[in-house]
Amino acid sequence: MDVLISAITPLADVWVILYMLLGLLAGVLFGAIPGLNAGIGIALMLPVTYTMDPLTSLVFLTSIYTGGVFGGAITAILINAPGSPSAVATTLDGYPMAVKGQANEALGLSLGASATGGLLGMIFLCVIIQPLAAFALKFGPAETFLLVIFALTSIASLSEGSFLKGIVAGLFGLLLGTIGFSASGSMRFTFGQTYLMDGMPIIPALIGFLALSELFSRLEEDDVELPSAGRLNFGKIVKGMLMVPRRIWAVLRSSVIGIFIGAIPGVGATVGSLISYETARRSSRTPEKFGRGEPDGIIAAESANNASEGGAMATMLALGIPGGAATAILIGALTIQGIVPGPRLVYEHQDVIFGLLAAEMLEQILLLAVGFVVAAAFLRVIYTPYAVLVPVVLAMCYIGAFSVRNAGFDAMLLIGCGALGWLMKREGYPVVAVVIGLMLGKTADAELIRIFQLYGGDFTVFFKSPICLVLILATILSLAAPIWAAYTKRRYSGPDLKGDTGA
Amino acid sequence: MERERRGSALIVPVLMLAFACAYGWSNRHVPPGDMHFAWPLTIGLGVLSLVLIGSVLLARLPVGPALTPARLKRPVLLFLCTLILLGFAGYDFPLATTAFLLLAIPLMGYRRWVAVIPVAVVLPVLLYWGFTALGVPLASFWLEG
């Protein structure tokens, strides 16, 4: 009862609600603008949270996350341009519905499915977080070390493009994470720079690799003129929303897929929504209608991508493992507040965690209103040319990087990481693997040093606990999966594809 | 064109290899007890970077589009414009940002001055007021106080 009261009490604070609404508004806009996404939105709004208390800060940032995942659907439906990658599956049936003159109903469907999927994801998070944290508390240094290695191999192998590039990106990130003082006091790769003694500054690196690199990528090609979005009709949007309860089983199935896919590091909302869409198509009695404006297609995609937030947050909060760009930046935000994500967080900061869970549920409900307001009133923002948008966003990135320590070094690091991230992205290296490696490198390093101190380099410790064995097996499977996939692809597509250069 | 694409694709593995070498060299005096994790990673990164270089040269890896002057133009110009922010925003954020936006927006291809000037002049001041009100310590000698 005490926990329930402590969870609900912060929601009575008008500032928390105000920041929640602002976060949802900003998130839906960031999600709707093609080229920006929830992760970039969270990165840009980080400096706003520096002086906030931990709960308000987390509520604000998770609102951006929630709004951002839905926001992509608006432009996916209205102009066939998914605002963020997680809305790709929504375009498949959303835009055909718009072409048939049912854009408003499609928007209503996506809004209703997003809110319901997101709510189910949060219910899952509430149920799972304490058992998961209790389980994770049993982890010793060997288990923690292997968990980090599994998270990275999973991200590298499941990322798009070459597996080898994924592994290189992950190794590079891990090495960046070991810069600075080691767990036993040696200095590594600092070149005498005091700014690097505490390690590579996380926030400038995060904003550089995740947000700035995307801006540089956008500038490589000329701006594309977006088609007109047409007029919106409130009554028809509500009619679309009311179609969701009649398809509750489809919502449930898609949400479960989204939650479990979202919990796997490196997979996230995009893959979750695509798998959910394909499952819905295969299990439908009329699969031929999918791709031609089938409401179930929108429900499958939108429920799954919003529900994935619950899964991703569970892995992030209870295990301290970021599953993707948005959760990586959320961990950065927690670190600024002096909170270290991981199993202890759930016990040491119960007020923050349960307050956040209650707030996240409220966010899903408020999303219905905010999503509609943005679609109706702020849609013109998506037509801002990149030539204006990118310099403005870059100035905001600068504020985010510079103001953590008031250090010019951090601003330079931001630009350096942005340029490197851009070069990596255009060649198909998963930049998110660098970021997650950077965040987990210090933990893995410290745990390995502890293993050597405790067991004197006896590596049989890795085979003594069942958790270790499961993690080793999972790592081997995640390493073998892309090799197996490449082998079967080569086998079935003949020898001609062997030298495929992607031309 | 194909040769240019392969050339562009070599940039990242060469940078990774250089980083692995620099990291290994700079940490050669660190006690081995602190490098149990870092040495295998350094060697792994170096070896895999060499494999990547080989794969690119032997055309066994998908590569991105070539870094042609047309593709490089806007990112490089933006990068150069950021030098204004890097050099002067620490002294006066609104002025440096105004100068940055006045230069960057037209260089990126948007030249409607009726829109550029208000954005470049008003937005930095709003950002300054907004963020300083939230406790972010941005500098300005003319807006301070």
Question: In this structure, is the dihedral angle defined by the CA atoms of residues A188, A191, A196 and A200, taken in order, positive or negative?
Answer: negative
Please report the pLDDT score of residue A178 as a whole number.
Answer: 94
Tens digits of per-residue pLDDT, A394-428?
Answer: 999 999 888 888 888 999 999 999 999 999 999 99
All residues at 6 or more sequence positions from A339 whose CB lies less than 8 Å from its CB, including other chains: A54, A345, A349, A352
Task: Answer whether A131 touches B (CB < 8 Å).
Answer: no
Tens digits of per-residue pLDDT, A190-212?
Answer: 888 888 988 999 889 999 998 89
Choice between B4 and A76, residue whose per-residue pLDDT is larger: A76
Tokens, residue A348: 């040491």
Which backbone phi and psi does A212 adopt, to 5 degrees? -65, -40
Please report the pLDDT score of residue A142 as a whole number.
Answer: 92
Q: Which residue of B has its CA nearest to A502?
A: B62
Please report the pLDDT score of residue A486 as a whole number.
Answer: 74
Average of pLDDT values for A18-44? 89
Average pLDDT, chain A: 86
Q: Do A184 and B34 touch (CB under 8 A)?
A: yes
Please report the pLDDT score of residue A398 as a whole number.
Answer: 92
Q: Which residue in the set A50, A171, A391 is minimally distant from B45, CB to CB?
A: A171
Please report the pLDDT score of residue A159 as a whole number.
Answer: 65
Q: How far is B143 from chain A (nearest CA, A)?
A: 17
Average of pLDDT values for A212-219? 89
Q: How far is A160 from chain B (nearest CA, A)?
A: 12
Q: Assign A181 to helix, strand or coil.
A: strand
Please report the pLDDT score of residue A176 as a whole number.
Answer: 95
Q: Do B79 and A449 touch (CB under 8 A)?
A: no
Tokens, residue A492: 């079935």
Sequence-separated contacts (24+) of B137-145 with Cβ below 8 Å = B137/A403, B137/A406, B138/A399, B138/A403, B138/B89, B138/B93, B139/B89, B139/B90, B139/B91, B139/B92, B139/B93, B140/B92, B140/B93, B140/B94, B140/B95, B141/B91, B141/B92, B142/B92, B142/B94, B142/B95, B143/B94
Task: Give the integer Cα–Cα distance in Å for A230 and A375.
Answer: 11
Please report the pLDDT score of residue A497 as a whole number.
Answer: 42
Q: Which helix (H) or strand (E) holds A304?
A: helix A295-314
Interface test with B, best of A402, A409, A415 (most B CBs within 10 A): A402
Please report the pLDDT score of residue A402 as a whole number.
Answer: 87
Q: How far is B34 from chain A (nearest CA, A)?
A: 7
Please report the pLDDT score of residue A502 as a whole number.
Answer: 33
Q: Residue A159: which region, alpha, beta or left (left: phi > 0; alpha: psi -120 to 50)?
A: beta
pLDDT band at residue A47 under the 50/70/90 scheme: confident
Q: Do B75 and A424 touch (CB under 8 A)?
A: no
String of DSSP letters for A433-461: HHHHHHHHHHHHHHHHHHHHHHHTT-GGG
Tens digits of per-residue pLDDT, A93-150?
Answer: 998 998 888 888 999 999 999 999 999 999 999 999 889 888 888 889 999 999 989 8
Q: Is A462 exposed, middle or buried (0-12, 13-18, 19+ CB in 10 A)?
A: middle
Task: Answer whether A378 touches B (CB < 8 Å).
Answer: no
Q: Which residue of B has its CA nearest to A145?
A: B37
Tokens, residue A93: 């049936």
pLDDT band at residue A24 under the 50/70/90 scheme: very high
Q: How far is A22 from chain B (nearest CA, A)?
A: 14
Task: Give the integer Cα–Cα distance in Å for A253 and A457.
Answer: 47
Please report the pLDDT score of residue A498 as a whole number.
Answer: 41
Length reported for chain A: 503
Q: What parts of chain B have a pLDDT lower than 50?
A: none
Q: How far is B142 from chain A (nearest CA, A)?
A: 19
Tens digits of per-residue pLDDT, A363-376?
Answer: 999 998 898 888 77
Q: Which residue in the set B55, B101, B136 is minimally distant from A391, CB to CB?
A: B101
Tens digits of per-residue pLDDT, A229-286?
Answer: 667 788 888 899 999 999 999 999 999 999 988 888 766 788 888 889 989 988 888 8
Q: Which residue in the set B34, B64, B105 is minimally distant from A426, CB to CB?
A: B64
Q: Which helix (H) or strand (E) holds A180?
A: strand A180-181
Q: Assign A188 to helix, strand or coil.
A: strand
Find the range with the poorest average confidence among A146-160, A290-304, A461-475, B116-130.
Answer: A146-160
Half-sphere exposure of A197 (CA within 13 A, CB side): 5
Tens digits of per-residue pLDDT, A226-237?
Answer: 777 667 788 888
Q: Assign A493 to helix, strand or coil.
A: helix
Tokens, residue B80: 């150069």
Interface test with A, best of B41, B112, B119, B122 (most A CBs within 10 A): B41
Q: Which residue of B has its CA nearest to A396?
A: B127
Tens digits of per-residue pLDDT, A316-360?
Answer: 988 888 877 888 888 888 888 888 888 888 888 888 888 888 999
Tokens, residue A89: 């599956």
Chain A residues close to B131, C-beta within 8 Å: 47-48, 399, 403
* Chains A–B, number of C-beta pairs less than 8 Å apart: 195
Please report the pLDDT score of residue B116 as a whole number.
Answer: 94
Residue B120: closest CA among B85, B91, B87, B90? B85
Please report the pLDDT score of residue A335 as a whole number.
Answer: 86
Please report the pLDDT score of residue A266 as a whole number.
Answer: 67
Please report the pLDDT score of residue A501 as a whole number.
Answer: 36
Question: In this structure, is the dihedral angle defined by the CA atoms of residues A158, A161, A163 and A165, taken in order, positive or negative?
Answer: negative
pLDDT reading at A499 higher than 50? no
Chain A residues close to B38, C-beta within 8 Å: 175, 178, 188, 445
Residue A379: closest CA among A66, A22, A29, A27? A29
Average of pLDDT values for A475-496? 75
